[in-house]
């Protein structure tokens, strides 16, 4: 089984995320895309994120009706920072026969050498790289050199071409705080949930 792993804060999830997931599913011939909401991202200050259960519920609402899309709360059940290397290791333990593909934007690649145990990340999963405007898409050998990987160590990189949909979660939070519409930016069920729970009344 081929499984795409799509991590993120999803605060909130929007149609840009869903288009990326669907294009990765199709182009990489994935059987499943696993959305993994981040619980305690090491690069964000504590308290700046909406509560995990609410972010996870918005993802569930967004992916409802697509049997290839699933949500996993595993990072919320683990103490300490939400490191990608640990998440992939846990998924490997659960699904030892699955071939994992980590969905990342090309803007993340220059930072990857500074992530927690990056060599363990690329040993656990191939990279499904989504080009971002203004960011070059690194070739596999360029990334191998940046990560100081031995020649015999496997490294799989696949570029997934996705229509340019520039939606940022922080801009959606600002729109809600300003009383502006987020219709057609997020699924209707997510917009209704945000309104019902009175989320983002003050932008972060």
Q: Which domain holds residue 68?
A: 2-167
Q: DSSP string spanning 58-112?
A: HHHHHHTT-TTEEE--GGGGS-S---HHHHHHHHHHH-TT-EEEEEEEGGGGGGG
Q: What is the pLDDT of residues 64-91, one digit of tens each?
A: 999 999 999 999 988 888 899 999 999 9
In a domain, 73, yes or no: yes
In a domain, 82, yes or no: yes
pTM listed for this prediction: 0.93
For residues 35 and 59, is the Cβ–Cβ distance under 8 A?
yes
- Neighbour-count burial of 15, counting CB atoms closer than 10 A to its CB (0-12 exposed, 13-18 middle, 19+ buried): middle
Q: What is the pLDDT of residues 115-126, one digit of tens each?
A: 999 999 999 999
Is pLDDT at 45 greater than 80 in this prediction?
no
Give CA angle at 146 (104, 162), nearest 5°: 25
Sorting pLDDT into bands at 50, 70 and 90, what band is 154?
Answer: confident
Please state the separation of Cα 117 from the chain's center in Å. 18
Tell me 51's DSSP state: P
Q: What is the pLDDT of residues 182-194, one digit of tens each?
A: 999 999 999 999 9
Q: What is the pLDDT of residue 139?
A: 85
Number of structural domains found in the chain: 1
Q: In angstroms, rounded to a whole number, what is the distance separating the alpha carbons of residues 109 and 183?
A: 32
In a domain, 99, yes or no: yes
In a domain, 146, yes or no: yes
In a domain, 161, yes or no: yes
CATH code of 71's domain: 3.40.50.620
């Amino acid at each position: 089984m081929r499984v795409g792993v799509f991590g993120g804060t999803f605060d909130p999830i929007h149609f840009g995320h869903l288009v990326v997931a669907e294009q990765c599913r199709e182009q990489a011939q994935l059987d499943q895309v696993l959305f993994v909401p981040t619980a305690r991202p090491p690069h964000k200050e504590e308290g700046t994120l909406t509560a995990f259960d609410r972010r996870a519920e918005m993802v569930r609402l967004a992916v409802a009706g697509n049997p290839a899309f699933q949500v996993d709360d595993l990072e919320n059940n683990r103490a300490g920072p939400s490191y990608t290397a640990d998440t992939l290791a846990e998924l490997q333990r659960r699904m030892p026969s699955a071939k994992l593909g980590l969905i990342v934007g090309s803007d993340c690649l220059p930072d990857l050498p500074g992530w927690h145990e990056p060599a363990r990340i690329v040993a656990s999963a191939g990279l499904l790289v989504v080009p971002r405007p203004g960011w070059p898409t690194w070739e596999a050998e360029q990334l191998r050199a940046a990560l100081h990987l031995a020649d015999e160590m496997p490294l799989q990189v696949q570029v997934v071409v996705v229509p340019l949909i520039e939606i940022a979660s922080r801009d959606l939070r600002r729109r809600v705080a300003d009383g502006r519409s987020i219709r057609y930016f997020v699924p209707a069920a997510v917009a209704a949930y945000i309104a019902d729970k009175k989320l983002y009344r003050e932008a972060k």
